[in-house]
Amino acid sequence: MTSSRSALLANGQGPDDERAGHTGARKGGAAQIGAPLITSLIGGDLPLRFEFFDGSAIGPSDGPGVIRVRSKDALRRVLWAPSEIGLARAFVSGDIDIDGDLGDVLRALGDGPELRRRRVGLSSIIPMLRAAIAFRALRPPPPPPKEELRAFGRRHSKARDEKVVRHHYDVGNDFYRLVLGPSLVYSCARFDDEEATLEQAQSSKLDLTCKKLGLAERAGMRLLDVGCGWGSMALHAASRYGAEVVGITLSPEQAELARDRVKEAGLDDRVDIRLEDYRDVSGETFDAISSIGMFEHVGKDKMDEYFSALFGLLKNRGRMLNHAISKHGGSRINGGSFIGRYVFPDGELIDVGEVVLGMERAGFEVRDVESLREHYARTLRCWVKNLEGDWATALHEVGEARARVWRLYMSASANRFADGRLSVHQVLGIKKSPDGSSGAPPTRGAWT
């Protein structure tokens, strides 16, 4: 960019964007009109550049990225939903665009998975209204993107759980293959080697899980994989350790692909993929149970029921491994957040201490707790790289809006795992025999 052009932008002058047309912005352009609103939202000095639909701009040119306000519809969305929902709608719909590493941009703005709700408060209403009047934008907002979900019915009822699970997972198996890579594992990997690829790290995590569950100690053990996804854990346990596996999921698309993968691997006689709720599994017992990346959908109010149900399905000396995102103090994802509307409706992140207590209340003896927090930050960055590296295919598979949801959600979540606001833990519990024997190895050497 030439110095004369930079000067024009800094002064809020420039041509109208064809998308927006004439905005009604007076002297100084959209940047001058929007500046009070932006500073009220962010506070202090601007950490990066904001460019507007008429070519005007404010903020430093040497920041980590550029936020492009492409349409006055962005203001209308935030005016009518003065919270992170309004901002999320503007980004998902393309009324706001971001150039640069999205994680770095979010970090510069001072938050992780979304702009904090407090940043769009009463102090911002007056400059927001002034900007809306100046832009002639005092009209009802555009409709929310169709990717937004507002869940109804009793929270964590079977019907509502099925709906919100399908909202997240039934968006196309090819899209998930693009993002997750060939392993098709939708949980954090384990990078036990600095040079490990994502696929190698996911195999390492699955292997660690199998060993913690004791599948390496004898062949033919019966495993229940709760929330089996696309069957990766089931395939690993059956092919590497000779396990007999039942995998259950609420997503028809996951089940269909998982069954295809099982058939292709020639493991039909060892792996049974079912479209089933864990609350409906009965009349059978298992040597081991894995729950990887599914517990976030259970909810604290249903936690005791969940652990009790799985405890009842285990044989004596059987083991259960619960692998889940956790948060200190817990966090109930609600419908007023970006994550709650677009990514994980009804999701809950439970403090690992509460998880341990919940397992103990159900009868488990907790034998091991391990954090993989830093591994999840790295995993998410790998997924973002996969998405951005084949953006055109992603748009073809799911459309721009959903691809934007995933780019925002994963980039921001990587920040939260990196700085410790989120963690992920594997908690291993055992169902002791009546005489107190556990069958557990004396040390972690069995799986390290």
- Please give the structure tokens belonging to residue 393: 């295919």
Q: Per-residue confidence at 15, pLDDT binned at 50, 70, 90?
A: very low
- In this predicted structure, what is the pLDDT of residue 120? 55
Is the confidence at residue 425, as pLDDT, over 80? Answer: yes
- In this predicted structure, what is the pLDDT of residue 188? 96
Beta carbons of 39 and 109 less than 8 angstroms apart? no
- Please give the structure tokens belonging to residue 302: 């249903």
- Smallest CA-to-CA distance from 277 within 237, 311, 228, 315 is with 228
Q: Is 400 helix (H, G, I), strand (E, B) or coil?
A: helix
Average pLDDT of the chain is 87
Is the confidence at residue 4, as pLDDT, over 50? Answer: no
Per-residue pLDDT, averaged over 193-216, amounts to 97
How far is residue 134's CA from residue 137's CA, in Å, rounded to a whole number? 8
- Please give the structure tokens belonging to residue 112: 């992780």
Per-residue pLDDT, averaged over 168-174, amounts to 83
Beta carbons of 62 and 112 less than 8 angstroms apart? no
- Partner residues linked to 319 by β-bridges: 288, 430
CB-side neighbour CA atoms (13 Å) of 112: 13
- Please give the structure tokens belonging to residue 180: 């997750």
- In this predicted structure, what is the pLDDT of residue 139? 85
Q: What is the dihedral of CA 217, 219, 224, 227, to 10 degrees?
A: 80
The total number of residues written for the chain in this structure: 448
Q: Per-residue confidence at 3, pLDDT binned at 50, 70, 90?
A: very low
- Indicate the helix (H) or strand (E) that contains 333: none
Q: What percent of the chain has pLDDT over 90?
A: 64
Is the confidence at residue 400, as pLDDT, over 60? Answer: yes
pLDDT tens-place string over residues 63-108: 999 999 999 898 888 888 877 888 899 999 999 999 999 999 989 8
- In this predicted structure, what is the pLDDT of residue 5? 29
Is the confidence at residue 405, as pLDDT, over 60? Answer: yes
Helices and strands, counts by H and E, the chain: 17, 13
Is the confidence at residue 283, as pLDDT, over 60? Answer: yes
Sign of CA dihedral 300, 302, 305, 309: negative
pLDDT tens-place string over residues 122-144: 666 777 788 878 877 788 889 99
Q: Which of 140-154, 230-244, 294-308 has the lowest mean pLDDT?
A: 140-154
Per-residue pLDDT, averaged over 436-442, amounts to 93
How far is residue 229's CA from residue 326's CA, in Å, rounded to a whole number? 20
Q: Which domains does the chain have, with CATH numbers?
A: 3-134 (no CATH), 158-446 (3.40.50.150)
How far is residue 147's CA from residue 343's CA, in Å, rounded to a whole number? 9
Q: Which of 6-10, 89-93, 308-312, 327-331 has the lowest mean pLDDT?
A: 6-10
Is the confidence at residue 174, as pLDDT, over 90? Answer: yes
Is the confidence at residue 11, as pLDDT, over 90? Answer: no
Please report where in the chains the tokens 């400059």 appear, as a residue: 127
- Indicate the helix (H) or strand (E) that contains 51: strand 49-52
Is the confidence at residue 118, as pLDDT, over 80? Answer: no
Per-residue pLDDT, averaged over 51-65, amounts to 92
Terminal-to-terminal C-alpha distance of the chain: 54
- In this predicted structure, what is the pLDDT of residue 122? 61
Q: Is 225 helix (H, G, I), strand (E, B) or coil?
A: strand
- Indicate the helix (H) or strand (E) that contains 275: strand 271-275
- Partner residues linked to 273 by β-bridges: 247
Q: What is the pTM of this model?
A: 0.87
Name the more confident of 6 and 32: 32
Q: What percent of the chain has pLDDT over 70?
A: 90
Q: Per-residue confidence at 26, pLDDT binned at 50, 70, 90?
A: very low
Q: Per-residue confidence at 377, pLDDT binned at 50, 70, 90?
A: very high
Q: Per-residue confidence at 415, pLDDT binned at 50, 70, 90?
A: very high
